[in-house]
Amino acid sequence: MNVPWVLLVSDEPNELSHVKELLESEGYKVETAGNEEEVLGRLGQEVTPKLIILDMVMTVTTGLQLLEHCKRIRPEQKLLMISCSGESTHVVHAIKLGAEDFITRPFRPSRLQEAVFRVIGPGSETPAPVMKIADNEVELVESLDEELFFLAASPAMKQIRAQVALIAKVDMPVLLLGESGVGKEVIARLIHKMSPRAGAPLLKVNCAALPKELLESELFGYEAGAFSGAIRSKPGKFELCNKGTMLLDEIGEMSPWLQAKMLHVLQDGRFSRLGGKLNIAVDVRVLAATNIDVEMAIARKEFREDLLYRLNAFTVKIPPLRERREEIPALLRHFMASQAAKLRKPPLSFSDQLVQECLRYHWPGNLRELVNVVKRYLVLESEDLIIEELRMKDQDFDLENRPDAAAPSSDLKARVTMMRDETESKEIQRALENANWNRRVAAAKLRISYRTLLTKIKRHRLYPPAEPKDGWLNYG
């Protein structure tokens, strides 16, 4: 058996001896190094360590400097930090430089063993505590509540799981990026569960679901008489979430004016209720999620750049399902088990043909679309109908995304689709211009929902002019 090789780096002999003995008892091959020259020399060899464990404090070169040098020479090298200090700036710096984990002394032996196992797998004598799916695939599942679970069966999601394990410990804001339906809320719940705030509430606020006036009162509360109908005072989500975690979902849809107030809350932890004069102090960790292109939103003055800098102390970008297709078979099984229990129906099996169709499909709705397909399969109890549905959606997707020049003139369906899209784009742009680019007013004039309009704006790439008209900052 190929025994994983671990290199320990410290200029403290006692520390080297203790950790070496601990890892060797788990079946790992362990070597030691006392300075930067020894480490870089080993990285220049043909066979390199599977994991390097660095001491944060060394006499000549700091662990962070050595971490940076190692990553520059061999970017794929796995590294782990050990330190006497859990100072958040050190943890942040180590994560950004590429550390897999950050362990603070004094630590339990099991803490180090779990970290090493998670990064490089078991030693020669350690059984792997994971469920086998196939000869070369493992599945890691973590339940979050009755319906939500985190599953990692791809390198990308295992890396995110490792990143979350570090991020959760540091009490700073986190920005979650990814397409709609990729599982941003799942990652937020996992961060909360693994954080010191796990015993306190996690509250979610959908910033796209409410107009700015209602969103402000939902977040910060109001005093009696603050507005018509405010008979008695009411605390907001920030007060209710004190000592806990707040998930601001779809924060890209928050109005610039409310973003400014949010920035002050993040800076000093204080705010006032609507109609109130007293400042209220709260201790809330903020997680923010969005599916928009944040840099483009800043350029269009839809999102405050200073708020982005405050939120993205850590950023987790979650890949779409089409970029981690190897997880689809495992996700199908877990969604089937959870949805069958919820619908009180016996679970159905997946044939090889259905699994292959799911692997080929492009999944524009990501996990949300996948779970809906499982629900329909449970209700219809027909694989043929599900397969036909996936194939038809793929055909429509191919037609809609085919370059104009590649569409044959005889393809009536493609031509009709193209003409329909052109007409729709012109009508939406006209409505936006007439509404001074206020999206809510335009949606009302078009008699479509606000969310539908946002989707169509993104699809047709309709943006305001470079020199926005007066009132653009109130762009609904």
Contact between 260 and 283 under an 8 Å Cβ cutoff? The reply is no
Residue 140 phi, psi (nearest 5): -115, 120
- Chain-centroid distance, C-alpha 210: 23
Q: What is the pLDDT of residue 59?
A: 59
The sign of the CA dihedral 424, 427, 431, 436 is positive
Q: What is the C-alpha radius of gyration for the chain, rounded to an integer number of angstroms?
A: 26
**52 three-class SS:** strand
Euclidean distance between CA atoms 422 and 381, whole angstroms:
39
Predicted confidence pLDDT, tens digits, the chain (476 residues): 567 889 998 877 777 788 888 888 888 999 998 888 888 888 888 788 999 999 877 655 678 888 988 988 888 899 998 887 666 677 777 877 888 888 877 777 877 887 888 788 787 644 443 333 333 344 567 878 767 889 888 888 888 888 888 888 888 899 999 999 999 999 999 999 999 999 999 999 999 888 877 899 999 999 998 888 888 899 999 999 999 999 999 999 998 889 999 999 999 999 999 888 889 999 999 999 999 988 888 888 889 999 998 998 889 999 999 999 999 999 999 899 889 988 888 999 999 999 999 999 999 999 999 999 999 999 999 999 999 999 988 776 665 555 554 444 445 555 666 777 778 888 888 888 888 888 888 888 888 888 788 888 877 888 776 544 444 433 44
Q: What is the pLDDT of residue 126?
A: 45
Q: Contacts for 371-378 with beta carbons within 8 Å, 24 or more apart?
A: 371/335, 371/339, 374/332, 374/335, 374/336, 374/339, 375/339, 375/343, 377/336, 377/348, 378/336, 378/339, 378/340, 378/343, 378/345, 378/347, 378/348
The sign of the CA dihedral 93, 96, 266, 172 is negative
Residue with tokens 């007293």, as numbered in its chain: 278
- 314 forms beta bridges with 174
DSSP 19-51: HHHHHHTTT-EEEEE-SHHHHHHHHTSSS--SE
pTM over 0.85: no
Q: What is the pLDDT of residue 287?
A: 96
DSSP 144-165: -SSS-EEEE-SHHHHHHHHHHH
Helices of type H across 121-211: 155-167, 184-194
Peptide bond into 155 cis (omega under 30): no
- Chain-centroid distance, C-alpha 121: 24
Strands of the 285-290 sheet, one edge to the other:
202-206, 245-249, 285-290, 174-177, 314-317
Q: What residue ranges define each of the domains in the chain, with the CATH number in brackets? A: 5-128 (3.40.50.2300), 149-317 (3.40.50.300), 328-400 (1.10.8.60), 412-474 (1.10.10)
Residue 244, judged by CB atoms within 10 A of its CB (0-12, 13-18, 19+), counts as buried
The sign of the CA dihedral 432, 438, 443, 444 is negative
